[in-house]
Structure 1
Amino acid sequence: MTQTALIVIDVQESFRVRPNWQAVNHPDIADRVDRLVRASRARGDLVVWVLHTEPGTGGAFDPVNGHVRLMDGLQPIEGEPVITKTSHNAFTTTNLQQLLTQYGVREVVISGIRTEQCCETTTRVASDLGYDVVFVSEATATTPLPHWTMPADASLEQVMADPRTLSPDVIVERTEYVLAGRFATIRTLDEVAGLAVAS
């Protein structure tokens, strides 16, 4: 029975069609995740693919627009579950917990988009459900976070010009601070993906 599962969260084309993708901290997120995927497969770990969907919204996450698909270069192999969610975390609106139980998973490795939102929220829920969680910040991506008073239709230029906007580096640092030792162990991409190379 598999003991560890890599959970790939929302590494989908939906994000690349949004203007703020120009300011993402890891434009090579698909390559980073692919390293983890290849290492996980080499170890015989389960890989679970999660896609975010917002049906009926007409936006980048509405399946009718064709962007709710894995980024180019990422491809599940036979037997790897692909689940869709409608909440921030990967558990609430899916059968993820049942899948992990079925495969005997005790540890989950978190990667994906966005660091402080779907990745962090999934980490917290997984921890509360009793899983050991490894959070690979370098295999997550995010974009600048505007102050909550900024209008939703503000341009990227306006967001970047606002001194209250949090940069991706700050977001990652804060996320690591709140997760480490409470909800997850923070590990580097080399630490997690490098294990398969050595074996």
Structure 2
Amino acid sequence: MKALIVVDIQNDYFEGGTMVLDGALEASEKAKQIIDKFRNDRLPVIHIQHIALSPDATFFLPYTKGAEFHPNVKPEGGEIVITKYYPNSFLKTDLQKYLQKLEVKELVICGMMTHMCIDATTRAAKDLGYECTLIGDACATRELEISGIKVVSQEVHAAFLSALDYYYANVTTANDYLTAN
């Protein structure tokens, strides 16, 4: 069986939020297409919600609108919601337990941020033995900087997707996934 993992598509990543990502709205619309496919096929949809624990955190603060799921991807009745506190959606959560109970062998993953939670979750999933498909255009990220060098969001996104595509996941687009499935 396969399941969809929707990682951190929460309000703080969108316009008006405290950690706005480039392309968040477009990515959420692609994620919604994949969610609709899984719902129509009666396959598990698992929503991951990041809640900040650090007193220095600036986004995903507990009990704030920013920590809530974006309207495009709100969970429906019966769908599992997992709260996480680290980039890796498996770390100190019940995600693995739910997947084992459902006898899931294949994961389709989408969400935010490509360079952080998507990367950590996809690598962990593969390490746990799951066959992974990553919907690249249903993910979003932001510009990064190191040693005074700015890396634009499109390059960050492409670099992480290309690294994951080699071993950790089959990276595809929403349209290609929907056409093939």
Instruction: Give TM-score scaled by structure 1 length.
Output: 0.83
Deviation of 1:122 after TM superposition, in Å, equals 0.3
Residue number among 9, 26, 32 corresponding to 1:28 in the alignment: 26
Contact kept? 1:40, 1:46, Cα under 8 Å: yes
Name the structure 2 match of 1:5. 3
Contact kept? 1:134, 1:184, Cα under 8 Å: yes
Deviation of 1:56 after TM superposition, in Å, equals 5.4
| Matched residues, number | 178
Alignment of 1:36-185 (within 5 A): 36-55=34-53, 57=55, 59-147=58-146, 149=147, 164-185=149-170
Deviation of 1:74 after TM superposition, in Å, equals 2.2
SS, match of residue 172 in structure 1: helix
Please, which moves more after superposition, 179-188 or 106-115? 179-188
Q: 1:188 to 1:25 in 2, by over 3 A?
A: same
- Pair member with larger Rg: 1
Deviation of 1:46 after TM superposition, in Å, equals 0.7
d(CA) in 2 for partners of 1:174, 1:56: 28
Alignment deviations for residues 61-87 of structure 1 (CA, whole Å, 9 cap, x no partner): 111333211112322122110111001
SS, match of residue 72 in structure 2: coil
Deviation of 1:195 after TM superposition, in Å, equals 4.7
Letter in 2 for 1:189: A
1:187 and 2:175 matched: no
d(CA) in 2 for partners of 1:45, 1:195: 16
Contact kept? 1:39, 1:194, Cα under 8 Å: no
d(CA) in 1 for partners of 2:112, 2:42: 24
Deviation of 1:127 after TM superposition, in Å, equals 0.2
Q: Which runs of 5+ in 1 are unaligned?
A: 151-163
Percent of matched pairs sharing the same residue: 26
Letter in 2 for 1:48: I
